[in-house]
Amino acid sequence: MIQMGLLVPKSTDWSVEFVFLDGTSRKVRVSPGTLAEDEAVSRACNHAKVFDRSVVKTITARRVDKSLKIAPFGMIQKG
C-alpha cells in the first residue's frame, strides 16, 4: 500500500542510517516518533542486527521529511 502511494508514514518518525566500514549503508525507519533519539538508534541497531558498533563508521538519526504522496489513480469505492 505504501508503494502505491495510498499510505503515508508520519513525518515525526526517525530515519536512522548506518554507514559501515566496508562502505555499505542501511537505513531503518523507526516509529513512534515520540521516542528519544538514543532510543530510536538503539531500536534501529536491534532491527538491523548491529550488535558490534565497531563495524559502523557513522550512525545518523534524523526526522523523516514531511512529504505528500498522491495515488496515481482514482479511488474505487465498493457499495
Written as nine digits, the cell of 51 is 550488535
- Residues 10-67: pLDDT tens digits? 568 999 999 999 999 999 999 888 999 999 999 999 999 999 999 999 999 999 865 5
pTM passes above 0.85: no
Say if 69 falls within a structural domain.
Answer: no
Say if 54 falls within a structural domain.
Answer: yes
Say if 32 falls within a structural domain.
Answer: yes
Say if 24 falls within a structural domain.
Answer: yes
Domain extent at residue 57 = 14-63
Say if 21 falls within a structural domain.
Answer: yes
CA distance 38 to 53: 14
Of the chain, the end-to-end C-alpha distance in Å amounts to 21
Split into its structural domains, the chain has a count of 1
